[in-house]
Homo-oligomer: A and B are copies of this chain.
């Protein structure tokens, strides 16, 4: 036991389970993703399924975790973008954009597990991992904001900490993306290009805070484009291919 190849066999099987589960979630939604169907999709039985995951919610959480990890990686790459603090924050915004465009369905499953309804049926370990991912994303943003303060490019008003600003930017973006998932909602509101609107809103907010250089002094849309091209060339191509299909 504990043979090295066995570990890998388990790993492989777990990936297979998640692959099937994700497809089911995609095609038939949360209620359509049943444990029996997943078991039918892999060549193992339901019992074996439960050796990998504590519950159906745990499977969902594992899917969400994959998303969170991916986003975290996007954020980490974006945080290394070359440029001043506000440019790097813009790159983070681009990363979130791209993540959302590439994985709109992951995004949904992610939101689900945050509804403490499901939280109780999830294994502690996985829950912690999700938390760590979220914390890391937040930390990256907070760090950039702190850098801007150090560089005297940003002076936050009293009572607003870097963590709070990160929370706000996060909320604005995720809230908007969540509303976008609502079909027909945007049309009803007369919103044409929601992603661009979010971009603009974030920049306007930062302008309002006086984060230098202001967007009147610097073309942050160009910065975002550069971030796309330099940090995420492959993913950007993917998005455009998907869009023109």
Contacts and interface: CB of A to CB of B under 8 A. Distances in A.
Interface of A, secondary structure class, is helix
B114 A182 contact: yes
Interface in A170-192: 170-176, 178-179, 181-183, 185-186, 188-192
B191 A201 contact: no
Contacts of A201: 168, 172, 205
How many protomers of this protein does the assembly include? 2
A159 interface: yes
Given A114-B182, A161-B190, A205-B201, A172 B170 contact: no
A219 to B, nearest CB: 13
A30 B204 contact: no
A4 interface: no
A244 interface: no
A200 B167 CA distance: 12
Contact of A166 (B167, B171, B189): B189
A167 B159 contact: no
A197 B29 contact: no
A199 to B, nearest CB: 11
Interface of A: 29-31, 108, 111-112, 114-117, 131, 134-135, 138, 142, 157, 159-161, 163-164, 166-168, 170-176, 178-179, 181-183, 185-186, 188-194, 196-198, 200-201, 203-209
Closest 5 CB pairs between A and B? A175-B175, A208-B208, A163-B190, A171-B176, A204-B208
